[in-house]
Structure 1
Amino acid sequence: MIRLSGITPSGHIQLGNHLGAIRRWAAEGGPEDLYFVSDMHGMTTTHNPARLRSLAAEQLAMLIASGIAPERVFVQSDIARELGALTWILECTCSYGEAARMIQFKEKSKGQAGVRLSLLTYPVLMAADILLQGAGEVPVGEDQRQHVELARALAKRFNGTYGDVFTMPKAVLPPSGARVKDLADPTRKMSKSARDEVGVVFVLDEPDQIRRKIRRAVTDGGTRPVFSPETRPGMANLLEILAACTGGKPEVLAEHFPSYGALKEAVAEAVIEELRPVREGTVALLADPAELDRVRKAGAARAAERGEHRLSSALRLIGGN
C-alpha cells in the first residue's frame, strides 16, 4: 500500500520537522511510500516566488540527505500539468459547500480582504495529490484530517458516478514523534514559519548557531534539571530533545546533570551530531545543482508516470479525451 506524505516549503526545515517526521520517514518508510515537496500549497497566500523556489530545492535536497531514497521523492510543481488537470476533474465532482466548510479555509479567511480563490480550492488540489499517486494511506495531523476525508468522498463519488478509477484513501495519524517546543517559548511548537527565530533550531544552522540558541533556551528557574512538563516546560523540552537525539528517557537523563549549563552543553552537542550528516549532505547536493536537477527530473517523471493511467481514465470517463 502506498503512503503519501508531503512537506510545504513555508520556511527552512527545523529540528522538530527532522525529529518528528523526516527522520522517521527515512528510517521507517516502506518501499512504496512517497514523499513530496508541496510547493504549490505554498502559493495559496502571499509569498515570495524566488524564496519559495529556493526553499523547495532545499527541502528536496534535505529529504534525500536524510536517507530517503531519491526514487521516492518529487516536487509537486514539477507535475503541475497532471495535477492541474486532475484538480479540475475533481472540482467538477466537488460542491462549493464541501470546499467552503473546510475548517482551515474558515480560519484562514476570517477577517481577511482579498482572500485568494486557491485557499478555497486548495483541499481539492490536495485530493489530486493523493488520488493521482494512488495513495491508500495519508499520515496527517488532526488539522489535515478533514482534507483527506474530502479526498475520500470525492474518490467515492467519482468511482460511483463515472467508473472505478481511484484508490479510496484514508487518513492515519502518524506515530508519535518528538514534540519539540520553541526554545524561547516552550508553550508553542517549534515552527519553520516562526517570525522570531531565536528559539528555532534549523537543520542548516551552523554548530555555533545551534550552541548559542540552546544556551539561551528558557529553563523555568530552579536549581537542578528536573523532568516536569507541566511545571517546567522549558527544561522538559531540552530533556525531550536530548532523549530524541540519544535514545534515552528524559526523566532518566535529568538525573545525569548537576546543572542547567551542563545539560545545555549536552543537548547542543547531541543536536549538532544528529543534524551534522543531514546538513553536510544537503549542502553538498545544493552545491551540485546539476545532480539535484537530475534527481528532481527523474522524480517528476516517475510521479507523472505513476498517475498517468488514472488521469487519462478519469478524463475519458468524465467526458474528455
Structure 2
Amino acid sequence: MKKLNKALSLTLAAIVSMPTLAENINTDDFSFGGRVEARAGLTDSDFDDKSRVRLNGQGKHVINDDITAVGKFEYELTQEDNSSDTTVQNKTRYLYVGAETAFGTVTYGTQDNAVTYLTNFTDMAEYFSGYTNESITASGDRAEDTVLYAINKGDLTVHASANLKETENGGGLMVAYKVHQNIEISAGYAATEGFTENNSDTFLDETESSDVYMIGARYTKDGLLVSGLVQAGSYGGSDFDAVDAFAAYSFGENSVNVSYNYYSADDTNELDVNFVAFEYARYIGDVAAYASYKIALDDDTSAGSGPNNKNADEFIIGARYSF
C-alpha cells in the first residue's frame, strides 16, 4: 500500500506540474538526455547480453537571488540474457529535488551518497571499476530516501548525507581538498543499519551495524589520470578491507586504462572481489566503442553466480550513443 500511495503521489505531482513545465521550459535551464548502449559479455564461453538504455532530465529554476531550485531524474532499462531467460530490469538511478544557495546545495530523493564523490576517484572505467563500495547502502553510488548536502569553497569540497529508508538507514561524510592543481586527496566515512532486501548471505548478523572508512587520492595532468582508494570497515559483523586503483591515458579520440579491484571480508566470501582489468575505448563525438578484459586473480576462476561472474575471467565489448 505504501508503494501504491507513493506511486500515485508522484503521478499526481507530475500531472499537476505539466502546465508549469510547459510554460517555463524555454526560460528555465532544463534538458533531456540519455544513452543507448549495446553490450555483450563472454564468460567461460557463455554469452550474456548486457544492453541498457538510460533516460534523464534535469533542470534549474531561479527562485530569487539567493535560492535556485534543482531537480533531476534518470531511469535505466537493462536487458539481461543468460541464454535461458531474458529479462528487462527497470531501475530508478536518480529522482531528487532540492535547492542551491550560497551556503551549499541540499537535495532529497534517490541520489548520490556523500562518499560517492570519493569513490568516483577510481570508478572511471567504462565497465570494470567501482566494485568494492556497494555492499553498504551509505557507501553505494546511490541510495533511496537520501538527503545530501554539498558545498564547494575553492579547493575544499564537503559532502554529508543521511539515508532515511527505514530498513537501511545511515549516512556518511566526505571531505576532499586539492593540495595542488593536479592532485586531490579525500577522506570519508559511511555507516548503515540493516541490509538490502536481496541480501542472500544467511551467515551475516543483520542486527550489526556496517561501516567503512575511506581515503583516496587522484592525480590528473593532460591525458593522464592515476587514482587510488583504500577502505576498511565491517559488514554485518565481519571485518573487511578493500583497495581500488585506476590508471588511464587519453590521446586524441582514444583512451586506454587499467583498473584493480580488491575486497575481502573475514567471515564471508559473498562479496569478495580480486581482479585486474584492461580496457580500450574510442570516442567520436556522441559515440563510444570499447572493449574490456578482466583477469580474475583468485585461485578459483570458474564463473560463479555472483555479480558479474566476479570469480571468472570475462571479456566485454560495447558501443554507446549518447544524446
Regarding TM over 0.5, the answer is no
TM-score in terms of structure 1 length: 0.22
Q: As a proportion of its length, which structure holds more strand?
A: 2
Q: As a proportion of its length, which structure holds more helix?
A: 1
TM-score in terms of structure 2 length: 0.22
Point out which structure has higher relative CO (alpha carbons under 8 A, 6+ apart): 1
